[in-house]
A and B are shown apart, each in its own frame.
Chain A
Amino acid sequence: MFRFLISRLAQAVVVLIVLSAIIFIISRLSGSPVDIMLPQGATPAQRDALIHRLQLDRPAWQQYLAFLKDAVRGDFGVSSRFHTDTLSLVLSRFGNTVLLALSAIIIAIVVGVPLGTWAAIRGGRVDSYISTITASAQAMPSFWLAILLILVFGVVWRLLPISQFQSWSALILPAVSLSVLPFVTITRVTRSSILSVVPQHYIDTAYAKGLPGRVIVVKHILRNAMIPILTVTGLMLGSALSGAVITETVFAWPGMGALAVEAIQSRDYSVVQCIAMLAGLVIIVVNLLVDISYRLLDPRTRIAARE
């Protein structure tokens, strides 16, 4: 277990370093930032001074090392729009994104796990209806669903607030529209995981003992089918935390994704870099935790690794 932890951790760090290199290269594709930063009518001497101050006259690998060193210390520079520290600006929005992502995942679990279980246990017509529902939900563009929700609940029925975050009811519509993709995945994984548990001998034993169906489903089937469901929920949480860009923009939700779009529109590159790095970090950490918890929860994977 210890060796597994170390090697997985090392792998995560390597991926993180490669990611920072990619972000660095992308940010340099735009050419020199000097021309944007200089005031009009600046002299060549002022230009050289700025190039020297930004260390753009040094070789690219030295610039990258400097970028990496700053990134490790959490120094992503100053936002050119808000004139504040980039990292603290991004982190101030991160809390709202966490709130939104968690709500979406909870909705997806509460709806998806029972539906997936029902589809697997009942089979036949029910299964086929539920797979039609998930296929339709998968084809639904999240922003179109968002617009339809705004139209129905905000404009026609005037039940719920449709933008910003002024009351808790404002959380409902964005969370519902963000929950669709995790819902599809969780429902499908629940169904196939349960189908792989049902033929096991211990389920036969439970039936032979004469246990009621409900007890078998909850205590024997669902419990043993839980690991893939937990894993995929973790992965979905990672992508919801970092991928809520469009949903947040539609609802003007003050989160990290909406900040990324604003930053791009105002050419605030340091904020974009910081968000890309933070989102990548979140996904890498979540994947790492999922891998580790998989080992902890299912003794079979540990034995398989040893053999």
Chain B
Amino acid sequence: MQVEKFYYDNKIVKAFGYATVIFGIVGMLAGLWAAIQIYAPAASLHFAPTTFGRIRPLHTNAIIFAFVGNCIFTGVYYSLQRLCKARMFSDRLSWIHFWGWQLIIASAAITLLLGFTTGKEYAELEWPIDIAITLVWVVFGINMFGTIIKRREKHLYVAIWFYIATWVTVAMLHIVNSFEIPVTFFKSYSWYAGVQDALVQWWYGHNAVAFFLTTPILGLMYYFLPKAANRPVYSYRLSIIHFWSLIFIYIWAGPHHLLYTALPDWAQSLGTVFSLMLIFPSWGGMLNGLFTLRGAWDKVREDPVLKFMVVAITCYGMATLEGPLLSLKNVNAIAHFSDWIIAHVHVGGLGWNGFMAFAMLYYLVPKMWNTPLYSKKLATNHFWLGTIGIILYAVPLYWAGFTQSIMWKTFTPEGQLKFQFLETVTNIIPMYVTRSIGGGIYLIGALLMVYNLVKTIAKGQFVANEAAEAAPIAREALAHKESWHRKIERKPVTMLVLSLIVVGIGGILEMVPTFLVKSNVPTIASVKPYTPLELQGRDIYVREGCYTCHSQMVRPFRDEVARYGEYSKAGEFVYDHPFQWGSKRTGPDLARVGGKYPDSWHYNHMDDPTSMSPGSVMPSYPWLLDNALDTTTTAAKIRAMQKLGVPYPEGFDKIANTELSAQAASITASLKKDKIETPPDKEIIALIAYLQRIGKDIKLEQNNTQTASK
């Protein structure tokens, strides 16, 4: 057979690698800043773009899509070429992909800080960026499948399966969750409302973890771990079972983010069952990784790359054991809305994703620059700093989450709640401080890596095009009879379709019933659409990222009903585009805040939270008192809502601003009674209108039934 000579493209790998490092540092800095703000609210600088509500989405998006995203592309562009024994399909597409992705990241950073957000976690980016993501993702797909099709290796190695499943599922998740109606260039409303929006969002959110932070990294594990240990994976059989069962089961597990909420019970149970089953493929993968090192543990002592991988895979195992446990309703009742979840995701993020990325970079840079690593010792120090950082980060937060949750649920013998919400927060501030120290140490470790890699690069010689040779796939080899799975496994497109079917089944079964069956969302007659002023106020609530610290979901627990009021019903959220249930209570739940305090309380509280609740860790929002409300968008917003099925009367968009002014005037008057003078056109007025409305409709309902029964 004629052997063909060709070159691997290392330049694109280098570019993605640099981006991984840069955005990793940026994302961690944003995280550290956000962590410090929790106990030192003044660190928000009293400046809108740097408050927690905007820095936190910046942190999550930067880590997920910029750091881990670029890490995935680095690894895929390196390993795919070698596993296929072919250069990437098109250099031009590679570079369009690279610059397109970096452009998306840059625009994401700017828009998030400016407050342009859809208000759906990890999918905050507004619609023009959503479209750009879709296009760039398609470019990546064409490039990847093109490479697979022109490959010189007959078989598709299991890592490639994980890449294919990642590509197809992320495409599906992104498109389904991003259905939104544009209002202006930077503002859109989610197509779905309330319960349905929540279900779609957490189907997306959970599977963003599954198919962006897990499957591609598992693919990298199946390539880089055997490379670094210089031995094949422990069991290839297990890797096949791992693959199919993981992608099938993962897609169902989303509703475990919504246990005890207003989501229909059957959907919650479905999420629990599949989350429990998920332990098997997850641990299958972990054991497959760790067993690969059997008899090679002496190498782990020597090689920083393997050290990072061992801890990464262990963290993967810990996080995926914890995940199913957290999906049990009784555990979830304690953990949900608390810092426990933050600890859980960071074991995954810092341990699994971070350490896999570091391991890969320590492996790739010496390879591509054709020189040994500048300092093994420094890398080992990085490893220890990182490991200690993870422990110092996670342990205090587990403690904090558990303590706070138990405090929330404590009653006095007389049957009163024992602790004010604020007491439960100030009690765990030392944990928050320790956590940020842990994060800081982890970041210092990452900086050591940057130094180490820069030094390595300086002394090496970059191999931009790495020569390789391989024979093309022999035609006659295809002719003889083969088993069906082998056939599938050699055909990337069949593989793509099959993975889509497998993940599609889960998605459809999980979500479609809530859209179809009316009894899943019982309507409540007294629930009315928001007034124009409230709608504008709600958009300010979304813009400032209030949902990053406040939930709007009273669960049916004794303590929550005692603390906040009547538990939340599915029918209350039918006009909420997007839903704002939140996922974390750094501040108290707001589902029943309407009418709880006078207007003036909210006014003063937004200006300086400590003036109303001493010791509060909420940032202050002085700009809301000065900024004039933009009412030019009101009509467009009303029309968009009408299109989504919100029953505003015909032609309401034309009179909406008149109604808005009238309501604003009445709030201004009520403020004046409490000696606060403010013009009625300020943003704070709209926000107060919204806050005073939340959760009130159902109180009306109760009043009505009481009157009726009298």
Q: Do A and B come from one complex?
A: no
Residue numbers of A with Cβ under 8 A of B are none
Chain B interfacial positions (CB closer than 8 Å to A): none
